[in-house]
Amino acid sequence: MQRRRDEYIDVLRVLVDVDSGTFAPEGVNAVADVCEDRFGGAGWNVERRPHQPEDGEDQLGDLLIGRIGDAGPRVLMIAHMDTVFPAGTARERPFSIDGDRAFGPGVCDMKSGLLAGLFAVDLLLEAGALPCSITYVCNPDEEIGSTFSKPAIQELSKVTDVALVLEPARGGGELVTARKGVTDLRIEVTGRAAHAGVEPHRGASAVLEAAHKVIELHELNGQWPGVTVNAGVVSGGTRPNVVAERCSIHVDIRAPNEASLQAVEEAALRIVAGSVVPGTTAEARMAANHRPMERTEATGRLLELAREGRTCHVDLAACDDLDSSALQILLAFRRACEGRGGRVAFAGAQGRVARLLQWFGLDGGLGRNASGRQASQPPASPRLATEG
């Protein structure tokens, strides 16, 4: 349906051409304005919660929650409005389309998904009565671990049957039904400063200690299946002729399940606690945790429902020939809501948190590469692939 596609691309262009890095609240709120308008136009109830930072905290954008429908299974949709890109990126490489690929900062992760969710529900509404109730959370802070929005999402997921996270699909449109847990570990090593030429024996090098720790941390790679540890950022010292008093290490830890994540976290903390260079100490801070999302039987069932939806051309007159991500999401809803296989509930890390089929309409390719762009594989169907 060309009209819908054109409209989708027009709005996507507006969203992508706004810099909405997590710490650019004006930009995130400009994205929220566009979403709020669309919610309003389609008859959603909209709640907008401003972020009130504590002392010393950065100001974040608003949390936007749309609600529509009051019967049937309860569907929670989640998409984030923030990106990882610094101010000025949108001007440097604004939104563009080349054939069936869209480019631009955050187009893939995840402005196209954010918008696809809105279009999916529009189509569902056009097709008649909503077969479910939908709560759509547009959060401003996913890229820093949803520090502001997490409590709200956890509350909402307690009263949810199906949750759909509209993050990018893997290349080729593969759905994500399991996800590694991520732990952000910051280590501060403290030593003792001294002149390196005159009295080196009085010093204790934090940089040398950090080097030992980095090697030990990297030796954790592969000790449990699928576990990865990367000391991605190290900074320390002041001058070449001064024994370094301080050094910080920023580490990314990932594991496929809770047991191995806990095991690697404990091993990393033991490395922090030990010291090789006499006179040095270290402190650790673990933050921005995403616990692992393990594949559950219920997720498997939801995946089956979604797969059926993929191959089935539904009878929705309004979107007969629309082979878009929005339709794919819609089909999943429809299948899930028809009750085939019954209610789908998931036991997640928070108890009865309904989680999750991570899904997105648009192919997102192979992940962010070093330059911050996203590589993409050619889409298998006339769908739109995204890069950026």
Q: Which residues bind Zn ion (CB under 5 A)?
A: 109-110, 167
**At closest approach, how far in Å is the CB of 79 from Zn ion?**
8
Nearest to Zn ion of 52, 371 (CB atom): 371
Token pair listed for 68: 């529509």
Least Å distance, CB 224 to Zn ion, is 26
Q: For residue 322, what are the CA distances in angstroms to 97, 307, 357, 359, 379?
A: 19, 17, 22, 18, 15
Q: Which is nearer to Zn ion, 112 or 257 (CB)?
A: 112
Q: What is the DSSP string of 196-254?
A: TTT-GGG-B-HHHHHHHHHHHHHTTTTSSTT-EEEEEEEEE-S-TTEE-SEEEEEEEEE
Nearer to Zn ion, 85 or 282 (CB): 85
Q: Which is nearer to Zn ion, 110 or 162 (CB)?
A: 110
Measuring CA to CA, how many Å separate 324 from each of 26, 52, 66, 123, 383?
A: 31, 38, 22, 11, 5
**Cα–Cα distance measured from residue 377 to residue 171, given in angstroms and rounded to the nearest whole number:** 6
Nearer to Zn ion, 110 or 305 (CB): 110
Cβ(357)–Cβ(306) below 8 Å: yes
Q: Least Å distance between CB 358 and Zn ion?
A: 10
Q: How many Å separate Cα 31 from the centre of its chain?
A: 17
DSSP run (H or E) holding 14: helix 2-16
**Least distance in angstroms from the C-beta of 142 to Zn ion:** 6
To Zn ion, the closest distance from the beta carbon of 136 in angstroms equals 16
CB of 345 to Zn ion, least distance (A): 24
| Min CB(327)–Zn ion separation in Å | 22
- Asked if 333 contacts 343 with a C-beta cutoff of 8 angstroms, the reply is no
Tokens read off for 279: 């006179």
Closer residue to Zn ion in complex, CB, 179/335: 179
91: tokens are: 């001007």
Q: Name the one residue in this structure whose structure tokens are 């090593």.
A: 189
Identity of the residue, 114 or 217, whose beta carbon is nearer to Zn ion in the bound complex: 114
Which residue's CB atom is positioned nearest to Zn ion?
Answer: 109
